[in-house]
Amino acid sequence: MSTAHRNRIQKFKVALSEENIHLKTLKDLCFDGIPFEGGIRALCWKILLNYLPLDQTLWETFLKKQRQVYSQFLKEMIIQPGIAKANMGFSREDVTLEDHPLNPNPDSRWNTYFKDNEILLQIDKDVRRLYPDMAFFQCPTDYPCQLILDPQNDYETLRRRVEQTTLKAQIVNRNRSGVTNVSSPGKSLNLYPSNEYAVLPCGTEAHWEVVERILFIYAKLNPGIAYVQGMNEIVGPIYYTFATDPNSQWKEHAEADTFFCFTNLMSENRDNFIKSLDDSQCGITCKMLSVYSMLKHKDLELYHKLEEQNIKPQYFTFRWLTLLLSQEFLLPDVIRIWDTLFSDQDRFHFLILVCCAMLILIRDSLLVGDFTVNMRLLQDYPISDIHTILTKAKELQDNS
């Protein structure tokens, strides 16, 4: 470790040791990248995503309460209707019409259960191959959810629920227009057989199952948006960062902490996932046009070239913006980009600057390429040097 890096870590430790953390000081440090050592990045993200209060004296009480809240969500939302009553000694004669699977009432527990299964199957398909180039999400977590796995409790794993459902794949297709193009081409949308991955020993669960649970609970709590394909790519890097925290006391609660941080991030980003808002001022269409508007201001020649070839921003910036570039780079690079995005005062405006920088950095290739070549460049971005991209984006910001 270089002296400069050690000094940088020390600056973070000083900033994080304050009883009342000075947010601007911390953001200035984080903007240039956050060290992983000592769990510094995971802690900073919890602050930058407005999860942890700035007053450290409140942390213990706050975290205890939030984790209890999440535990209650698990109890209320991941339960198989009917099992609880059966285990409490109810006989078949005691089962009411309300509890019957064929009850036509749209508000019945069974009807809700079947509708939830449609969402669950979509989530399941997406999370099983989250970051397929990494083994992490297929490996067992050191901290499986005991509330779910304890055979004495009336709860079942979501994996088991998926395996037992008889819903047909075609009723699971809930993708909004365009979102099917969000994930990378290598990711299949087929429902994977349960034996595709090695069966984990009893009492264990893979990291992808934890992510699945987080997304399912989010969908239950936010029925207006529920789950849209691509949300798995947003929650994945957050969970990975928290679940690899070297501090075991933080790592043990990675699931609950990820859920609340993801919820906070989605509160800022959710409009991108709501189709009815696409053409509104806060919708994704406006943001995609903002990339071209900025490009027109910063590089008129390149802007005219893309316009001349009829390369519309939605052909590539939809994925860039909606998924916060999580599909364009390797996970460690995505995490580094997010260090900067999360620490910028206007994080999603800076994302537009990053997208514009990405275009300008490959301008020479774009200016000589035809439509096919340029679309290939934009959909499979060729530059992997994150430092160069972020430096260019900061330069554009400073010259605005």
Closest among 255, 268, 180 to 212, alpha carbons compared: 255
pLDDT surpasses 60 at 181: no
Average of pLDDT values for 286-302? 95
Question: pLDDT tens digits for 128-143?
Answer: 989 988 999 999 999 9
Choose between 240 and 198: higher pLDDT.
240
Average of pLDDT values for 177-200? 45
pLDDT at residue 81 in the model = 44
pLDDT surpasses 90 at 304: yes
pLDDT surpasses 70 at 395: yes
pLDDT surpasses 80 at 257: yes
pTM: 0.86
Q: How far apart are CA 95 and CA 102, in angstroms?
A: 12
Average of pLDDT values for 246-251? 94
Domains of the chain: 3-57 (no CATH), 58-270 (no CATH), 278-398 (1.10.472.80)
pLDDT at residue 276 in the model = 63
Contact 326, 237 (CB under 8 A): yes
Number of helical H runs and strand E runs in the chain:
20, 0
The overall average pLDDT reported for the chain is 85
Choose between 223 and 166: higher pLDDT.
223
End-to-end CA distance of the chain: 36
pLDDT at residue 161 in the model = 78
Average of pLDDT values for 306-324? 96
Q: How far apart are CA 67 and CA 260, in angstroms?
A: 10
> By three-state DSSP, how is residue 106 classified?
coil
Percent of the chain scored above 70 by pLDDT? 80
Average of pLDDT values for 268-284? 71
pLDDT at residue 195 in the model = 46
pLDDT band at 147 (very low <50, low <70, confident <90, very high): confident
pLDDT at residue 98 in the model = 54
pLDDT surpasses 50 at 82: no
pLDDT at residue 252 in the model = 96
pLDDT surpasses 90 at 27: yes
With tokens 């971005």, the residue in question is 381
- Annotate 139-185 with DSSP letters as a single string: SBPSS--HHHH-TTSS---HHHHHHH----GGGG--PPTTGGGTS-T
